[in-house]
Amino acid sequence: MKQFAPNKIWKPYSRLQFFMLFLLFFSLFASCAYITPKTETLKHVHDTYRQEFIKLIVSPPSPRIKSIADDASFVGTLAEIRAFKSKYGEAIQEAHHLDVLEAMIYLQTNQFGMARLMEQKVKDAASKLQSKTGIYTRDQLFALSFDYLLSGWEEIQKAKPDAKPDVKTLRSSAEGINKVLAPDPDKFDPKKYSEADDGAIYLATTAAIFYTWVYDIELTNKADLYNAGSSLIGKFLSESEKKVAEKIDSTGLERNPRLRYIQWYNYLKSEAGKP
């Protein structure tokens, strides 16, 4: 009986398989060599923004407030954004995140002209940053709220002793942010905002500030407006944070800016019951 000779049958196929595996591993290695540095650089930009964002001190509770940022500086983040785009270009997915961050930095430092110039880029980024899991990221929330933020703060900057901001614009801006954060208040799911850092509560506090301006101009419906603001902030506070809200002061604010959001929550809750 003729014996089976495996080498004669399998040797050509083994060489072909080896060659195909070699190409596969080479392709994966080449891909990682290109993607990994880019991904790591993007992460570093976000980390820098996060560190500088934490230093952003939201202005204290008051019925009249000029800006949400007393001392906002994002010099490091802007430098890293420019370096990233110079190296990798602006037509890639990662650049959409950075477009949003750059525009927000201009807005948060009251450079409204520069922020307005980036408005279209932010609009384009909003749909491209949508997560398939339904979990919101900070950049996506910023992009979805950007028009409302910009129009609201621009209007407030117009406030002078002999001039008042347009109340319709402020109300529309506040309600727009409210709908972004809580499109269906009865079905609000905090888990969807687990990756938004403090971006969500920052937006909620901004909407609350716009509500206080609406009341300051109209001098009606104080309870409704202030409760709308505190309710929105409260969605992003833990129950323990709500319980200690009345005891919060400015001590340690530099180390924990989140205390300012709690202060706003308490202020709005207490003021809502006053005539």
Domain residue ranges in the chain: 41-272
Rounded CA separation 199/197 (Å): 5
Torsion angles phi and psi, residue 216, rounded to 5: -60, -30
**In this predicted model, which residue has the larger pLDDT, 160 or 34?**
160
97-145 pLDDT, tens digit per residue, is 999 999 999 998 889 999 999 999 999 999 888 888 889 989 999 999 9
* Predicted confidence (pLDDT) at residue 40 exceeds the cutoff of 50: yes
pLDDT number for residue 66:
66
> What torsion do the CA atoms of 264, 191, 135, 210 make, to the nearest 10 degrees?
-20
Are 45 and 98 in contact by the 8 Å Cβ rule? The answer is yes
Tell which wins on pLDDT, 79 or 249: 79
Contact 205, 174 (CB under 8 A): no
Q: What does the pLDDT look like over 194-235, one tens digit per residue?
A: 888 889 999 999 999 999 999 999 999 999 999 999 999 999
CB contact at 8 A, 229 and 182: no
**Is the per-residue pLDDT at 259 higher than 90?**
no
Residue 167 to residue 171: CA distance in whole angstroms: 6
pLDDT at 4 over 80: no
Distance spanning both ends of the chain, measured CA to CA: 106
CA distances from 204 to 3, 41, 79, 232, 249 (A): 79, 30, 28, 6, 20
Contact 233, 208 (CB under 8 A): yes
